[in-house]
Amino acid sequence: MDTVFGIPGGSVLPLYHELAVASIRHILTRHEQAAAHAADGYARASGKPGVCIATSGPGATNLVTGIANAYMDSIPIIAITGQVSVAMIGRDSFQEADITGITLPVTKANYLVKNIRDLAVTIHEAFHVAATGRPGPVLIDVPKDITTQRAAFHYPPRLHLPGYRSRVEPHALQVAQAAAAIQAATKPLLFIGGGVITSGAHEEVRQLAEEQDIPVVMSMMGKGAFPEQHPLFIGMVGMHGTAAANYAICETDLIIGVGVRFDDRVTGKIEAFAPKAKIIHIDIDAAEIGKVVAAHIPIVADARQALQALLAKLPGKMERPAWRQQIKRWQEENPLRYEQCGLKPQYVIEELYHLTGGRAIISTDVGQHQMWAVQYYPLERPRAFLSSCGLGTMGFGVPAAMGAAIARPGETVVAISGDGSFQMNIQELATLSHYRIPVKIVLLNNGYLGMVRQWQEFFFDRRYAYSEMAGNPDFVKVAEAYRVPGRRVTTREEVVPALQEALETEGPFLLDVLIDREENVFPMVPPGGTLNKMVTGGRQE
């Protein structure tokens, strides 16, 4: 941890007083929510916990969305909040908010430090808890007077956490059963999620897939955990997954779920999910097993360890040509496609892919552009795709990209955003400008809350209730006002040169791309629908 993100205020003034002379870099964001998302992006991109700081009351409550976001995606962040002095707590003091109470359901753990002697050990414990096991956000609430006292530094090397077990060994018997099930299966399918990235199990996944000839599908959290250009890769499953991936789920006889939680956006109608399959479910969180789908073979363990144990039980190679061919046919019959006219968002992302050689770190906001980013920017490596998957938080993309750019200097970081989402943290242009953080914003501007408009088109009689963004500003001018260079793109021909300019310009850059306004995301499984019943494109449906 070398950088923290935050905004000062009354109750953290003593803390900031010291921070100013400490060897830790502090990035002043323009909203605490952005500080939390930046810490989140930092953690996703680096694998290390991200840290954000806010003052008591409104500063702390402004962090809540970012904390909830990290909780849903199991991202390790540490939120340090100021609190009113110990004696003032509980009196509705100025800028008092019960932030440990407020964040109870969205933190892995939280602490109110009432004694200076507990401070160091609490921080130690917080980092340990946030980063180990199934990671998650941890909040430390520190009353102002605690930060003005002095105490001997008490930092026990060993934590006392009798109720917390961060390491779980895979159960040998269950591993053996899983191995036998894989050998017996004719149509097995690896279904990988965020847990693979967290545990660094991508190499093991690849080895298992290749040696046992098992095709791979992913949740959005799993993007980058398996090379998407690999012949065994089928795509994302679920609502906006690829047709082939969804068909594969419906046909497979064995799902090997690794670090996935079977979210409803993935499963569709749960009774109809993978009707022919046995399920091996590998997860470090025992509570995930059986929460949504019943697992025939549960393995509670770190994904990497579990896969290593599984690989040891599976010597030799396997070939499953019939299953592979079946999948290939689905892929050929149902490729991702869009019309080659106008200014299509998919085209913009494809060109971005080519110009960056697929090596950019991509963050997204939430909406149609997010799905297009998943579909048209295939990744080869983990920790290069940052998206608010579980909570679906508009406003995540730009601050998360900031965090990633700081965690991974020298890499190209692109925030693919929408005109709605961008305006939820548009003030972060100031942070980008202030620190010259080299985030390239590609704004896929359709003048709509596009995903909302798409649902209204399909499920609400095209009554576009409050989904048009009529008051949008000239985003290039807004960027320029913050001294962030920008360019507007209105035709297909301008896309490549504009992307080139953005990528070649040092520091931050904003591209405002006026895309076809009513472009839709396909395929689409209607909410609560069965995965093999997809709407696959064209306005006629």
- Residues designated catalytic: 32, 94-95, 144, 451
Angle at alpha carbon of residue 247, lines to 242 and 249, rounded to 5° = 100
* Of residues 84 and 362, the one with the C-beta less far from Mg ion: 362
C-alpha closest to that of 251 among 181, 318, 326: 326
Binding of residue 321 to another protein (CB under 8 A): no
* Of residues 285 and 494, the one with the C-beta less far from another protein: 285
**Ranges within 425-454 binding Mg ion (CB under 5 A):** 446, 448, 450
Answer whether 48's CB lies under 8 Å from 78's CB: no
Instruction: Kindly indicate which of the ranges 83-91, 104-112, 321-329, 396-404 contains the residues binding another protein, using the contact rule CB under 8 A.
Output: 104-112
Distance CA 117, CA 353 (A): 52
What's the closest the beta carbon of residue 143 comes to ligand TPP, in angstroms?
31
Q: Give which of Mg ion, ligand TPP, another protein, none residue 365 binds (C-beta under 5 to 8 Å, depending on kind).
A: ligand TPP
Residue 288 burial (CB < 10 Å; 0-12/13-18/19+)? buried
Bridge partners of 440?
414, 509
DSSP 343-364: --HHHHHHHHHHHTTT-SEEEE
Q: Give which of another protein, Mg ion, ligand TPP, none residue 162 binds (C-beta under 5 to 8 Å, depending on kind).
A: another protein
Give the strand pairing for 50-54 and 77-83. parallel
Instruction: Kindly indicate which of the ranges 128-136, 424-432, 440-448, 519-527 contains the residues binding another protein, using the contact rule CB under 8 A.
Output: 128-136
What's the closest the beta carbon of residue 443 comes to Mg ion, in angstroms?
9
Question: Count of residues for the chain?
Answer: 541
Q: Give which of Mg ion, ligand TPP, another protein, none residue 219 binds (C-beta under 5 to 8 Å, depending on kind).
A: none
Give the strand pairing for 486-489 and 509-514. parallel
Distance CA 163, CA 170 (A): 19
What's the closest the beta carbon of residue 217 comes to another protein, in angstroms?
26
Residue of the chain from 93, 166, 177, 505 that contacts another protein (CB under 8 A): 166
Residue of the chain from 419, 428, 512, 519 that contacts Mg ion (CB under 5 A): 419
Distance CA 188, CA 107 (A): 36
**Where on the chain is the footprint of ligand TPP (CB under 6 A)?**
365-369, 392-394, 418-421, 444, 446, 448-452
What's the closest the beta carbon of residue 347 comes to ligand TPP, in angstroms?
15
Site string for another protein, 347-376 (x = CB under 8 A): ------------------------------
* Of residues 166 and 472, the one with the C-beta less far from ligand TPP: 472
What's the closest the beta carbon of residue 165 comes to Mg ion, in angstroms?
44
Dihedral sign from CA coordinates of 353, 208, 525, 363: negative
The torsion angles phi and psi of 89, rounded to 5 degrees, stand at -65, 135
Angle at alpha carbon of residue 225, lines to 185 and 413, rounded to 5° = 160
Binding of residue 124 to another protein (CB under 8 A): no
Binding of residue 291 to another protein (CB under 8 A): yes
Instruction: Kindly indicate which of the ranges 154-162, 307-315, 463-471, 505-513 contains the residues binding another protein, using the contact rule CB under 8 A.
Output: 154-162
Distance CA 508, CA 413 (A): 10
350-359 — which CB contacts under 8 Å span 24+ positions? 350/376, 351/495, 351/496, 351/499, 352/377, 352/414, 352/416, 352/442, 352/499, 353/377, 353/378, 355/496, 355/499, 355/500, 355/503, 356/412, 356/414, 356/503, 359/384, 359/411, 359/412
Site string for Mg ion, 12-31 (x = CB under 5 A): --------------------
What's the closest the beta carbon of residue 468 comes to ligand TPP, in angstroms?
10
What's the closest the beta carbon of residue 136 comes to another protein, in angstroms?
10
Binding of residue 418 to Mg ion (CB under 5 A): yes
Q: Give which of Mg ion, ligand TPP, another protein, none residue 164 binds (C-beta under 5 to 8 Å, depending on kind).
A: another protein
What's the closest the beta carbon of residue 32 comes to another protein, in angstroms?
23
The gap from C-alpha 115 to its chain's centroid, in whole angstroms, comes to 36
* Of residues 196 and 444, the one with the C-beta less far from ligand TPP: 444
Answer whether 187's CB lies under 8 Å from 252's CB: yes
Residue 286 burial (CB < 10 Å; 0-12/13-18/19+)? middle
Q: Where do contacts with another protein occur on this chain (CB under 8 A)?
A: 100-101, 104-105, 108-109, 112, 128-129, 132, 158-166, 285-287, 289-291
